[in-house]
Amino acid sequence: MNELVHGAAGRKSRSAAPARKPPGRTNDPERTQANILEVAEAEFGEKGLAGARIDEIAEATKTSKRMIYYYFGSKEGLYLAVLEESYRRVRDVESELKLQDLDPEDALRRLVAFTFDHHLHHENYIRLVMSENINRGQYVAQSQRIQDLNIPAIAAIKHLYERGVKAGAFRKGLDPVDIHASISALSFFNVSNRHTFGTIFKLDMLAPSYIAQRRANVTEMVVRFVRK
């Protein structure tokens, strides 16, 4: 497997290598990298790591393979950067939910609804996570950044759960990571299995009425699981 190198900063850390400018001409390197990540997310989400093609990403972003490799080091480096960016985005928005300003049950309802809506509207994120599970999590395991990103998410659940227990609203003895797993699983399935489940049971899982009912049901299931 190619060595994973993240961006120009990773290259500059090699003291023996002289400072280099990225190949080609660009007036906005950050915007170029963001565009590459956006296009790569769709490519990896659609085809997985094995099927994705750097040539197609380069063509869609009007850059070059050489520039992509300069910024991300390798195909695997780009894939890992896409995974990290996908997790960063969801955790960033999650941190803005202001759960601490709500009573515990309302905070839990907001968190479940947010997770459901995020997964619903970010199919590429779901497909990336599915792809990484096919890879047995080997790239996630290489990323300390992804590990760190999820610490505040669990801390937020722990805090709202403990507030609920103290207020007498939630039952004792639950694990915040298990609560997180239940929220994730119920929200994830609606996207990951929509084609198979919808076909087998003749459901239009993209119908607004179905989505609204499913959203309400998922929220209620989690709240009833935690409620005292």
Taking only the tens place, the pLDDT of each residue in 35-85 is 999 999 999 999 999 999 999 999 999 999 999 999 999 999 999 999 999
For 153-160, what is the mean pLDDT?
A: 95
**Given a cut of 80, is residue 186 above it in pLDDT?**
yes
> Burial level of 124, CB count in 10 A (0-12/13-18/19+)?
middle
pLDDT tens digits, one per residue of 121-132: 999 999 999 999
Compare 133 and 22 and report the one with higher pLDDT: 133
For 74-102, what is the mean pLDDT?
A: 94
pLDDT score, position 23:
53
Entry pTM: 0.83
Among 20-24, 26-30, 146-150, 166-170, where is mean pLDDT lowest? 20-24
**Given a cut of 60, is residue 8 above it in pLDDT?**
no
**Given a cut of 60, is residue 11 above it in pLDDT?**
no
pLDDT score, position 6:
43
DSSP string for residues in the chain: -PPP--HHHHHHT-TTSPP-PPSS--S-HHHHHHHHHHHHHHHHHHHHHHH--HHHHHHHHT--HHHHHHHHSSHHHHHHHHHHHHHHHHHHHHTTS-GGGS-HHHHHHHHHHHHHHHHHH-HHHHHHHHHHHHTTTTTGGG-HHHHHHHHHHHHHHHHHHHHHHHTTSB-SS--HHHHHHHHHHHHHHHHHTHHHHHHHTT--TTSHHHHHHHHHHHHHHHHHHHB-
**Given a cut of 50, is residue 2 above it in pLDDT?**
no
The per-residue pLDDT of the chain, averaged, comes to 89
pLDDT score, position 132:
94
pLDDT score, position 166:
97
Domains of the chain: 7-80 (1.10.357.10), 95-226 (1.10.357.10)
**Given a cut of 70, is residue 21 above it in pLDDT?**
no
Handedness of CA 115, 60, 27, 32 (dihedral sign): positive
For 133-151, what is the mean pLDDT?
A: 93
Q: What percent of the chain has pLDDT over 70?
A: 88
